[in-house]
Amino acid sequence: MELFLTNTCRYLVERRWYEQWKEYVVTGDQNSSSFPGQIDNTELFEELDSYHLKERLVENEDFVLIPAEAWCNLLAWYGMVDDQPALERKVVDLPSTVKVEVYPVEIFLCLHSNMENVVTAQFSRVDHIHTIQKVMMKQFDVVEGAETRLWMKSSDTCCERLRNVHVNVLDSSLSSGMVIYISPSISYSRNSVEEQESYRGQPGVCGLTNLGNTCFMNSALQCLSNTPPLTEYFLQSAYLEELNFTNPLGMKGEIAEAYADVIKQMWSGRHYSVVPRLFKTKVGHFASQFLGYQQHDSQELLSFLLDGLHEDLNRVKNKEYIELRDADGRPDQEVAEEAWHNHRRRNNSVIVDTFHGLFKSTLVCPECRKVSVTFDPFCYLSVPLPVSKDRVMEVFFVSLDPVAKPVQHRLVVPKAGKVFDLCSALSEMTDVSVNQMVVADVFNHRFYKIYHADESLSCILDRDDIFVYVKPEEGDEVVLALYLRERSHYRDSGSGSSSCGTSLFGHPLLMAVPRVQCSRNALYHLFLQRAGVPTNSQQGAGMGEDGSAFSFSCESDYTSHSHCQLLCHGCTQPYVAIDWDPDMKKKCYNENEAEKYVKHQSMEVPHQQTTVQLQECIELFTTVEILEEENPWYCPICKKHQLATKKLDLWSLPEVLIIHLKRFSYTKYSREKLDIIVDFPLRLVISCLSFTPPSRYDLIAVSNHYGGLRDGHYTSYARNKDNGQWYYFDDNKVTYAREEQIVTNAAYLLFYHRQDKIRQPTLPPPSDSSSSPTQPANVTSHKHGMERATSCVNMETD
């Protein structure tokens, strides 16, 4: 294995192995339970055949990054499990940021003349196309110096030539999963240009190619594309007269021009799918968080895009300084008009015309009761969802019965609860006293952590393997931890001498042992019985000191430890281990049988889907709240910062109202997505405080998110402005949709158009959108919205 001792690379190490190693460094005892054994990155791999990394691993949660020199030392000291590859990653210098490239770009390489012979290769985003060309020429035995051409296949029908071999992978918008083929310089490679030139379809009914985890961008673009006033502004080229090239807050007009190019292609009626490559490159150039091809949030992209378009198209060339005034008892109408006028003096664009409204913000000092009223502009509403106070957790219950399998239970516990609450819920199902339960996080065949009853449940992640063990009621018995270890021999790379080590396997156990049976011989037979090993086998009865199949290690005199001391959190946990000879382990230990468990009937109870009304979310948004300690308000009367009460109200509403449903919740210990159904109307009536009649809106687009926090897929529903037909956009695929399919638990961004501004469709809707034989070639029937949408979750790969 070739290792580079430079600062230009880092190595991935599974976080819990690394934490176990740190604990071992403190104890320094190879026979202790904290001995990490060989470096084991199994938890980072999707499968052990190809050693592909799992999608969307998080640094310091799933893995840690260590320098090359530290990696070499760890490798020399401990070795690696099962010949796993070293996870070396480059430190790359990207525009405005330096980062470790955890996920290199994985590309399929082949010859144009033999596209069945595909080779997979990984490249850094800072590698040049010339590097790929050299690798391919060597791989496919192309004569050195021969003139060749590289072609990039980004979809089933679209190929592009990589003309400039001196740009890097990032600037070429290459992403994982793409195919590059090499061909002689003769031009027999074709793309889909001719095919698309002959295509004629409904303007706006156009897919967007996924460039590699860019479904979040495609979803936001489809929603904006189907926002009539903005799209007509670009289609009529009105933006050309308003490009602001000198705005220091803008992007020199480049974002507006790139967006205009995408919109004009989508509404030309000549494309069934558009490749938004230039737009993606521009976004990454001006917003480094969107560089590369990791999954992102469609709302964050939308926020950046609306702000970027506004500054690129701001009609105000020189922003004047405006001193803000407090209301000081003046009428709300007067203060609101002044605030809106001041906002338009500095911000005047098609984005403000279309999307901006006005909040009324009221702050009240808790001490002097000073009331401060301000009016602030907004571009979208981010409304909270009523959060359930409960959490569903799954645990394995291990009884005192030595032959009983662990039982998996599904529990409903308070989100803000303690470990005691988990034990109480389990006690109701098992009739076992809470005082007899020991809650443990089991990882890497050992007790990774023992939890106290008063610890917060937020410390336990959904992916943790939580085992609840039963200990006997207070009596003349001792609770012992039992680990299974396999003996192994290795050669010390430093001294060259041969040494003996052990590695853990199987599930750890907690056993109740009568004090009278705490002799070495009695414990040995009890543990073999609990582990399911016959004690009357040919070699099983030996004590291990004379070369028998098993050896028995008692790390401490347990007869002098109480239950509390044995399971004390934060100290080195004593344990008893049975060391196995490798051959006898194969003969006597049935790994499949040892891993089996039983499902409790609670696992069969379906999860109840919660439904809330959109109006509830809006009311929650306007509820009085107390400012957080990190964000106090300075009271001009008290002359100090105060935790004031704050209330937001809607004063005036825009032509196009965007509502962001805040489905993603983050705390110090947990992150979750709220999958509750928000029942939003297709025709919305909403009131505000500006003494105007209620505003009436029609729904025109929805951005959907399917899946969880670390994976998932974005799609969108949108109503075509010309024919009034609803469509479902899933990257480059477009299907008809019906209104009754649109409300799902995946809805994330809602776009509403005020009815008094809506222009009636100029074209009749398709005669029968569910079965019309004359429907465009790129549009298919979307009869089962929920089923179809659910299948989209795993459609995208990186």
Radius of gyration of the chain from its Cα atoms, rounded to whole angstroms: 32
d(CA 413, CA 419): 9
**pLDDT given for residue 245 in this prediction:** 92
Exposure of 42 in the CB half-sphere (CA atoms within 13 A): 7
Please, are residues 182 and 133 in contact by the beta-carbon 8 Å criterion?
yes
Catalytic pick from 271, 409, 600, 713? 713
Alpha helices in 322-418 (DSSP H): 332-346, 350-355
> Measured on CA atoms in the order 276, 277, 278, 279, is the torsion positive or negative?
positive
What rounded mean pLDDT belongs to the chain? 82
Helices and strands, counts by H and E, the chain: 18, 42
Please, are residues 31 and 578 in contact by the beta-carbon 8 Å criterion?
no
Catalytic pick from 110, 215, 223, 792? 215
Q: Is the pLDDT of residue 554 over 60?
A: no
Which of 193-202, 283-292, 521-530, 559-568 is modeled with the greatest confidence?
283-292
Tokens representing 776?
């465009």
Q: Locate tokens 């005199």: which residue?
A: 557
**pLDDT given for residue 326 in this prediction:** 79
Cβ atoms within 10 A of the Cβ of 492, count?
Answer: 11
Distances, alpha carbon 781 to alpha carbons 196, 728, 734, 777, in Å = 22, 10, 9, 11
Burial of 352: CB neighbours in 10 Å, binned 0-12, 13-18, 19+: buried
Cβ atoms within 10 A of the Cβ of 55, count?
Answer: 15
Q: Locate tokens 């009304």: which residue?
A: 613
Query: What DSSP string runs through 528-554?
Result: HHHTT--TTSTTTTS-STTS-SEEEEE
Burial of 314: CB neighbours in 10 Å, binned 0-12, 13-18, 19+: buried
Tokens representing 84?
């796993």
**pLDDT given for residue 291 in this prediction:** 83
d(CA 726, CA 198): 25
Please, are residues 663 and 705 in contact by the beta-carbon 8 Å criterion?
yes
- Among the residue ranges 38-47, 242-251, 287-296, 463-472, the one predicted with the least confidence is 287-296
> Among 234, 509, 507, which Cα is nearest to 351's?
234
> Among 460, 467, 448, which Cα is nearest to 418's?
460
> Among 134, 138, 127, 139, which Cα is nearest to 150's?
134
d(CA 732, CA 614): 30
Q: Is the pLDDT of residue 349 over 60?
A: yes
**Segment 51-62 mean pLDDT:** 86
Cβ atoms within 10 A of the Cβ of 182, count?
Answer: 22
Q: Which amino acid does the sequence have at 555?
A: E
Buried b (16+ CB within 10 A) or exposed e, 141-167: ebeeeeebbbbbbbbeebbbebeebee
Confidence of residue 632 (pLDDT cuts 50, 70, 90): very high
Confidence of residue 528 (pLDDT cuts 50, 70, 90): low
> Among 461, 411, 420, 458, which Cα is nearest to 439's?
420
Buried b (16+ CB within 10 A) or exposed e, 638-666: eeeebebbbebbbbbbbbbbbbbbbbbee
- Among the residue ranges 455-464, 493-502, 660-669, the one predicted with the least confidence is 493-502
Element (H, E) at 784: none
Query: Cα(first)–Cα(last) distance of the chain, in Å?
Result: 27
**pLDDT given for residue 263 in this prediction:** 96
215 noted as active-site residue: yes
**pLDDT given for residue 458 in this prediction:** 83
**pLDDT given for residue 572 in this prediction:** 42
**pLDDT given for residue 515 in this prediction:** 77
Q: Is the pLDDT of residue 53 over 60?
A: yes
130 noted as active-site residue: no
**pLDDT given for residue 496 in this prediction:** 55
Q: Give the model confidence (pLDDT) of 669-723 as tens digits.
A: 556 778 889 999 999 999 988 778 899 999 999 999 998 776 789 999 999 999 9
**Segment 224-242 mean pLDDT:** 96
Instruction: Give the whole-number percent of the chain exceeding pLDDT 70.
Output: 83
**pLDDT given for residue 65 in this prediction:** 94
**pLDDT given for residue 225 in this prediction:** 97
Confidence of residue 188 (pLDDT cuts 50, 70, 90): very low
Q: Is the pLDDT of residue 223 over 90?
A: yes
**pLDDT given for residue 303 in this prediction:** 96
**Segment 562-573 mean pLDDT:** 36
- Among the residue ranges 72-81, 143-152, 346-355, the one predicted with the least confidence is 143-152
Between 769 and 236, the higher pLDDT residue: 236
**pLDDT given for residue 548 in this prediction:** 45
Distances, alpha carbon 771 to alpha carbons 203, 611, 729, 767, in Å = 20, 32, 18, 9
Between 540 and 210, the higher pLDDT residue: 210
3-state secondary structure of 265: helix
**Segment 240-250 mean pLDDT:** 93
Q: What is the DSSP letter of 731?
A: T
Tokens representing 132?
């790929």
- Among the residue ranges 120-134, 171-185, 311-325, the one predicted with the least confidence is 171-185
Distances, alpha carbon 522 to alpha carbons 109, 519, 528, 795, in Å = 63, 5, 10, 57
- Among the residue ranges 113-127, 240-254, 263-277, 713-727, the one predicted with the least confidence is 113-127
3-state secondary structure of 688: coil
Residue 751, beta-bridge partner list: 658, 701
Instruction: Give the whole-number percent of the chain exceeding pLDDT 90.
Output: 44
Residue 633, beta-bridge partner list: 642
Tokens representing 238?
């009105």
Which of 218-232, 427-441, 447-461 is modeled with the greatest confidence?
218-232
Please, are residues 389 and 415 in contact by the beta-carbon 8 Å criterion?
yes
**pLDDT given for residue 335 in this prediction:** 93
d(CA 417, CA 455): 9
Q: Locate tokens 């891993």: which residue?
A: 595
The dihedrals phi and psi of 48, each to the nearest 5 degrees, come to -90, -5
Q: Is the pLDDT of residue 796 over 70?
A: no
3-state secondary structure of 228: helix
**pLDDT given for residue 136 in this prediction:** 92
Confidence of residue 532 (pLDDT cuts 50, 70, 90): low
- Among the residue ranges 26-30, 351-355, 394-398, 728-732, the one predicted with the least confidence is 26-30
**pLDDT given for residue 605 in this prediction:** 79
- Among the residue ranges 43-57, 412-426, 668-682, the one predicted with the least confidence is 668-682
Burial of 475: CB neighbours in 10 Å, binned 0-12, 13-18, 19+: exposed
Alpha helices in 380-519 (DSSP H): 419-430
Q: Is the pLDDT of residue 254 over 70?
A: yes
Tokens representing 19?
């934490």
Confidence of residue 197 (pLDDT cuts 50, 70, 90): low
Q: Is the pTM of this model over 0.85?
A: no
Confidence of residue 51 (pLDDT cuts 50, 70, 90): confident
d(CA 55, CA 329): 56
Contacts of 181 (CB under 8 A, 6+ apart): 109, 110, 111, 112, 115, 150, 151, 153, 189
Confidence of residue 391 (pLDDT cuts 50, 70, 90): confident
Q: What is the DSSP letter of 75?
A: H
